[in-house]
């Protein structure tokens, strides 16, 4: 934010241009023309550089007494620069580039040179700039310079302003800095100074410094003791370094300091009480460090403070009441710490200027009288995960300027008060999710301003109908409530042109699916699952719609899959499971080449598996047809789905053999590489919530239980062909699928031997071959299946010794072998001619890759390794924390869902729409 303001500010200043009165000196004009020749200038910014009077050229300024060129301002005025990020890899045509011609040294009187925000293509900063002895102002920021900073710059003893931020520069020796003894403004942000030692002692030699920015310089050392020389320093930025030390107390002896940014620099320890000495401070940012301990009461002495940020740290204890003295404070942001205790009127009653209050992700308890009238008018309040309830906070009644409320997971079990309609009217973003709020939803009307609003009311106890929603809503999530009645069948105006996400899942909505959904062109995420919707799926989908996810699962929908669904070519996830849909899978779906998840299980589809699924849906990672009336053979083309990780054809009436080419499912084969992208997470990083995502899900019948996989779906590898009429043998090729965790072939007519190489499926956890006509002995390699925790070989014609050793020894339930008259050995009766068995003869092998194991635990091990799930989930969530750079991780912690929901088959199936 500050950067943007700063840039706007500097652009405005720069627009005042140069003084134009004097006439031009020929030698300088020649130098300028030569300089121009070296430059590339695609947008003709230097068009005016012709004719005699070089003082009137664009960006050139001359002294009106001597006529010498004293100013050269070539910074890129294009507005893109305001959106500059260090990751920028493009430069629009208004950038200058090319060579900086040495003729510049003939501009001997030059005092001001600004070439910022251009693209010099990784050229070095020319060392001859060091001979422009009169330079007072040098700005080469954001200009794609690279290499070392030339030490010749130390000759610029008149320099007051040096800005070389955000290039690709390095510096080994800060020795040149002290000779710039008149410097007031030094900005080296983004410069790699990790090899340079003693920065602060060098810089301390320049008492004139007013602005010092050393953000992202790779600094790792800051002296704990320094005899502070900075008597004028007002603006200090040391963010994004790696100091790994406590905050040095001398920083608070800089009495002139006003703006103080130490964020993201690995500072440790507690915040020194000396902080209260900095009584001119207006901005303090200590966020994203590893600070511990309590917030010192002396913070109340910072009477000039307008912005305070100490987020993402480990602060504990109470918020000191002295904070209530900061009557200039506009922004108070302490989110994501371990603060606890009360927040009372006393903390807030003198904060007359407060507009932003961010205390989310702490363990704070709000204890505020319902009749208290705050002295401030908040614009944005974010108190997610604080304990606000049980009552709805009455003191918000007076806050009629609010545009954002984040009050998720705040223990509110009240209904929404009537007065809230006055506030909700103007609210852009409202998040009351994960409370226990009862009765009707709040009302919304369309705002006059052109806004895309976000409304999260999911996971509450709202009941009653859903009123037509205003057309400026972009995100509406009311899933996991008790809403009933029809989904509004008419809308007040022309559809919902901006709606991106509509989640109504897990309610009691009945009636049909409204046809206007087909008109929502911007809609990306549609979740209507787990309701009582009936009738057909509308036949009106259109090519120009951008749907990515459509989830209509677990309703009472009937009829066929509409042919027009094949127009939704961007779909990545289509869920129609557990309805009464029937007929064939329409051939139009072959256009859905981006589809990763297709779940049609639990319907009455009665076709064969079309060959085009293998030929066209090449992105498929999950294909679930469980419990339908699919017949015929498995087409060979299915083996083309090399990305497939989950294939479930269980409980159908399919015939024929299991194709040998199942060995071609290469995604199920461990090939030594681990790094794979998350496939089952579809981010919807809208507006203020960069880390929101929809996690795909499926139910899988594994280990005799029905498990729902959501966040862990990406770790699951499974094939289920059970309950069909498959014949023939188990192909050996199947055993090469070394990532498989679940293989269920039970309830078919499979014959022949269990392949001897079954031990190749090293990660197999659940193996069910029961109720077939398999014969021969159990291969001894089965003892290599170190993770096997569920085995069922019952009701076959197996015979001989049950192999012993390792994991197989723990499977001591006799029933897994019954119905095989010829089997003997532990846990069944001893084999008659057998000598006493030798127990654990095999040496436990360690898997090659420990992480492989960990991931495996994540995927399936809920039953016997629930401890690991916690570990894995934390690793996983950390990623999204990283994403929440400027936003608010508030959304995260309270939504730490348990990864896998275990459910009995009979329970009502629930989907998990989750946000992190």
Ligand X SMILES: *[C@@H]1O[C@H](CO)[C@@H](O)[C@H](O)[C@H]1NC(C)=O
Residue in 697, 658, 411 with CA at minimum distance from that of residue 554: 697
Element (H, E) at 214: none
Q: What is the dihedral of CA 587, 593, 594, 598, to 10 degrees?
A: 30
Q: Is 664 in the site for ligand X (CB under 6 A)?
A: yes
Q: How far is the CB of 131 from ligand X (least distance, A)?
A: 10
Angle subtended by helix axes 866-883 and 850-860, to nearest 10: 100
Largest separation between any pair of C-alpha atoms in the chain: 116
Pure H helices in 138-279: 199-203
Interface region with ligand X, contact rule CB under 6 A, candidates 190-198, 451-459, 665-673, 741-749: 665-673
Closest CB to ligand X among 146 and 205? 205
Closest CB to ligand X among 9 and 207? 207
Closest CB to ligand X among 326 and 549? 326
Query: For ligand X, which residue of 40, 152, 194, 229 counts as binding (CB under 6 A)?
Result: 229
Closest CB to ligand X among 102 and 379? 102
Q: How far is the CB of 157 from ligand X (least distance, A)?
A: 12
Strands 96-98 and 39-41, sheet pairing: antiparallel
Query: For ligand X, which residue of 3, 82, 205, 365 counts as binding (CB under 6 A)?
Result: 205
* CA dist., res. 736 & res. 724, Å (int): 23
Contact 704, 726 (CB under 8 A): no
* CA dist., res. 728 & res. 737, Å (int): 19
Q: How far is the CB of 474 from ligand X (least distance, A)?
A: 35
Query: For ligand X, which residue of 89, 227, 833, 835 counts as binding (CB under 6 A)?
Result: 227
Q: Is 153 helix (H, G, I), strand (E, B) or coil?
A: helix
Q: Is 367 in the site for ligand X (CB under 6 A)?
A: no
State the distance between the two ends of the chain, measured CA to CA, in whole angstroms: 24
Closest CB to ligand X among 246 and 350? 350
Residue in 489, 450, 449 with CA at minimum distance from that of residue 469: 489
Interface region with ligand X, contact rule CB under 6 A, candidates 118-126, 204-212, 290-298, 782-790: 204-212
Give, as one character, the DSSP assignment of residue 635. Answer: P
Q: Is 132 helix (H, G, I), strand (E, B) or coil?
A: coil
Which residues between 612 and 641 bind ligand X (CB under 6 A)? Answer: 636, 639-640
Query: For ligand X, which residue of 676, 834, 849, 879 counts as binding (CB under 6 A)?
Result: 676
* CA dist., res. 486 & res. 253, Å (int): 66
652 burial via Cβ count (<10 Å: 0-12, 13-18, 19+) = buried
Query: For ligand X, which residue of 4, 6, 8, 30 counts as binding (CB under 6 A)?
Result: 30
Q: How far is the CB of 678 from ligand X (least distance, A)?
A: 13
Closest CB to ligand X among 65 and 846? 65
Q: Is 16 in the site for ligand X (CB under 6 A)?
A: no
Q: How far is the CB of 830 from ligand X (least distance, A)?
A: 44
How many residues bind ligand X, per CB under 6 A?
Answer: 34
Q: Looking up tokens 């002895």, which residue turns up?
A: 133
Q: Extract the tokens encoding 605.
A: 């589809």
Query: For ligand X, which residue of 51, 207, 822, 870 counts as binding (CB under 6 A)?
Result: 207
Which residues between 49 and 68 bind ligand X (CB under 6 A)? Answer: 64-65
Q: Is 671 in the site for ligand X (CB under 6 A)?
A: yes
Q: Is 673 in the site for ligand X (CB under 6 A)?
A: yes
Bond from prior residue into 829 cis (ω within 30 degrees of 0): no
Q: Is 19 in the site for ligand X (CB under 6 A)?
A: yes
Closest CB to ligand X among 3 and 105? 105
Closest CB to ligand X among 627 and 640? 640
* CA dist., res. 575 & res. 552, Å (int): 6
Query: Is the backbone of residue 49 left (phi > 0), alpha (psi -120 to 50) or beta?
Result: beta
x/- map, 287-326, ligand X, by CB under 6 A: ----------------xx----------------x--xx-
Residue in 530, 412, 421 with CA at minimum distance from that of residue 482: 530
Q: Is 346 in the site for ligand X (CB under 6 A)?
A: yes
Task: Give the Cβ contact number of residue 538 at 10 Å.
Answer: 16
Closest CB to ligand X among 179 and 873? 179
DSSP string, 571-587: --EEE--SSEEEE---G
Q: Is 277 in the site for ligand X (CB under 6 A)?
A: no
Query: For ligand X, which residue of 105, 273, 331, 540 counts as binding (CB under 6 A)?
Result: 105
Show the beta-strand stretches assigned E in 201-248: 211-213, 235-237
Interface region with ligand X, contact rule CB under 6 A, candidates 504-512, 530-538, 605-613, 669-677: 669-677
Contacts of 846 by beta carbon, 8 Å cutoff, 6+ apart: none
Closest CB to ligand X among 252 and 420? 252
Q: Is 253 in the site for ligand X (CB under 6 A)?
A: no
Q: Is 389 in the site for ligand X (CB under 6 A)?
A: no
Contacts of 60 by beta carbon, 8 Å cutoff, 6+ apart: 18, 32, 49, 54, 69, 71, 72
Q: Is 849 in the site for ligand X (CB under 6 A)?
A: no
Closest CB to ligand X among 637 and 775? 637
Query: For ligand X, which residue of 10, 14, 27, 618 counts as binding (CB under 6 A)?
Result: 27
Backbone angles phi, psi at 500, to 5 degrees: -105, -30
Residue in 304, 355, 364 with CA at minimum distance from that of residue 332: 355
Closest CB to ligand X among 108 and 534? 108
Q: Extract the tokens encoding 748.
A: 């078919």
* CA dist., res. 212 & res. 174, Å (int): 14
Closest CB to ligand X among 346 and 356? 346
Interface region with ligand X, contact rule CB under 6 A, candidates 118-126, 199-207, 384-392, 830-838: 199-207
Query: For ligand X, which residue of 78, 350, 411, 873 counts as binding (CB under 6 A)?
Result: 350
Residues of this chain that bind ligand X (CB under 6 A): 19, 21, 27, 30, 64-65, 102-103, 105-106, 181, 204-205, 207, 227, 229, 280, 303-304, 321, 324-325, 346, 350, 636, 639-640, 661, 664, 666-667, 671, 673, 676
């Amino acid at each position: 934010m500050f950067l943007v303001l700063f840039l706007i500010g500097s652009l405005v200043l720069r627009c005042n241009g140069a003084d134009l009165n004097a006439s031009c000196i020929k030698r300088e004009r020649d130098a300028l023309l030569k300089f121009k020749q070296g430059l590339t200038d695609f947008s003709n910014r230097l068009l005016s550089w012709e004719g005699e009077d070089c003082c009137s050229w664009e960006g050139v300024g001359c002294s009106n007494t001597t006529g010498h060129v004293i100013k050269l301002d070539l910074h890129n005025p294009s507005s893109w620069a305001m959106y500059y990020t260090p990751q920028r890899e493009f430069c629009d045509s208004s950038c200058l580039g090319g060579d900086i011609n040495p003729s510049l040294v003939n501009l001997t009187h030059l005092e001001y040179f600004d070439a910022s925000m251009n693209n010099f293509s990784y050229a070095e900063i020319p060392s001859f700039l060091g001979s422009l002895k009169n330079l007072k102002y040098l700005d080469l920021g954001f200009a794609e310079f690279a290499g070392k900073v030339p030490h010749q710059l130390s000759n610029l003893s008149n320099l007051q302003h040096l800005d070389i931020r955000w290039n690709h520069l390095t510096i080994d020796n800060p020795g040149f800095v002290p000779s710039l003894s008149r410097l007031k403004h030094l900005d080296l942000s983004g410069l790699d100074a990790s090899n340079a030692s003693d920065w602060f002692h060098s810089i301390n030699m320049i008492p004139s410094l007013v602005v010092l920015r050393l953000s992202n310089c790779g600094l790792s050392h800051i002296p704990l003791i320094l005899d502070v020389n900075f008597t004028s320093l007002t603006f200090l930025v040391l963010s994004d370094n790696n100091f790994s030390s406590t905050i040095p107390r001398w920083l608070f002896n800089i009495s002139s300091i006003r703006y103080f940014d130490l964020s993201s620099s690995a500072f440790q320890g507690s915040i020194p009480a000396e902080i209260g000495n900095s009584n001119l401070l207006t901005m303090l940012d200590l966020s994203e460090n590893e600070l511990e301990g309590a917030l010192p009461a002396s913070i109340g002495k910072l009477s000039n403070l307008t912005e305070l940020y100490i987020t993402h740290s480990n602060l504990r204890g109470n918020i000191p009441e002295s904070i209530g003295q900061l009557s200039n404070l506009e922004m108070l942001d302490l989110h994501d710490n371990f603060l606890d205790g009360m927040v009372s009127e006393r903390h807030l009653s003198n904060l007359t200027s407060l507009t932003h209050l961010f205390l989310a992700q702490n363990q704070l308890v709000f204890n505020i009288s319902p009749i208290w009238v705050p002295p401030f008018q908040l614009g944005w309040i974010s108190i997610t995960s604080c304990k606000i309830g049980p009552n709805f906070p009455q003191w918000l009644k007076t806050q009629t300027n609010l545009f954002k409320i984040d009050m998720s997971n705040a223990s509110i079990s009240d209904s929404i008060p009537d007065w809230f309609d006055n506030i909700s009217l103007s609210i852009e973003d409202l998040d009351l999710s994960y409370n226990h709020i009862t009765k009707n939803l709040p009302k919304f009307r369309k705002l006059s301003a052109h806004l895309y609003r976000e409304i999260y009311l999911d996971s509450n106890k709202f009941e009653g109908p859903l009123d037509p929603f205003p057309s400026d809503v972009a995100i509406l999530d009311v899933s996991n409530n008790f809403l009933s009645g029809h989904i509004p069948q008419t809308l007040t105006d022309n559809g919902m042109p901006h709606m991106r996400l509509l989640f109504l899942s897990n309610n009691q909505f009945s009636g049909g699916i409204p046809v206007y959904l087909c008109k929502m062109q911007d809609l990306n995420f549609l979740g209507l699952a787990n309701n009582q919707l009936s009738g057909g799926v509308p036949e009106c989908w259109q090519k120009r719609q951008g749907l990515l996810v459509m989830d209509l699962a677990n309703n009472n929908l009937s009829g066929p899959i509409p042919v027009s669904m094949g127009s939704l070519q961007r779909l990545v996830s289509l869920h129609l499971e557990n309805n009464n849909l029937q007929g064939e899978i329409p051939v139009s779906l072959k256009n859905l080449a981006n589809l990763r998840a297709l779940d049609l299980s639990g319907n009455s589809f009665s076709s064969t598996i079309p060959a085009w699924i293998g030929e066209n849906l090449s992105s498929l990672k999950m294909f679930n047809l469980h419990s339908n009336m699919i017949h015929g053979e498995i087409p060979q083309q299915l083996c083309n789905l090399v990305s497939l990780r989950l294939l479930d054809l269980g409980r159908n009436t399919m015939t024929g053999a299991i194709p040998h080419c199942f060995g071609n499912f290469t995604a199920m084969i461990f090939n030594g590489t681990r790094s794979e992208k998350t496939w089952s997470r579809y981010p919807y990083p809208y507006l203020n919530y960069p880390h929101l995502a929809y996690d795909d899900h499926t139910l899988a019948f594994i280990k005799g239980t029905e498990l729902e996989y959501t966040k862990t779906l990406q770790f699951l590898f499974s094939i289920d062909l059970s309950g069909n009429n498959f014949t023939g043998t188990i192909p050996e090729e199947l055993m090469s699928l070394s990532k498989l965790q679940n293989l269920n072939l039970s309830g078919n007519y499979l014959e022949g031997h269990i392949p001897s190489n079954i031990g190749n499926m090293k990660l197999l956890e659940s193996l069910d071959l029961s109720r077939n006509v398999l014969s021969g002995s159990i291969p001894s390699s089965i003892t290599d299946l170190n993770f096997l925790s569920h085995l069922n070989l019952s009701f076959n014609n197996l015979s001989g010794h049950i192999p012993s050793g390792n994991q197989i020894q723990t499977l001591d339930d006799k029933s897994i072998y019954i119905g095989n008259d010829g089997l003997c050995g532990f846990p069944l009766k001893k084999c008659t001619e057998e000598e006493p068995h030798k127990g654990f003869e095999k040496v436990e092998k360690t898997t090659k890759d420990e992480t492989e194991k960990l991931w495996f635990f994540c995927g399936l091990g809920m039953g016997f390794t629930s401890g690991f799930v916690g570990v894995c989930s934390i690793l996983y969530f950390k990623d999204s924390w990283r994403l929440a750079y400027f936003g608010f991780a508030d959304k995260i912690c309270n939504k730490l869902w348990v990864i896998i929901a275990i459910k009995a088959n009979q329970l009502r199936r629930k989907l998990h729409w989750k946000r992190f």
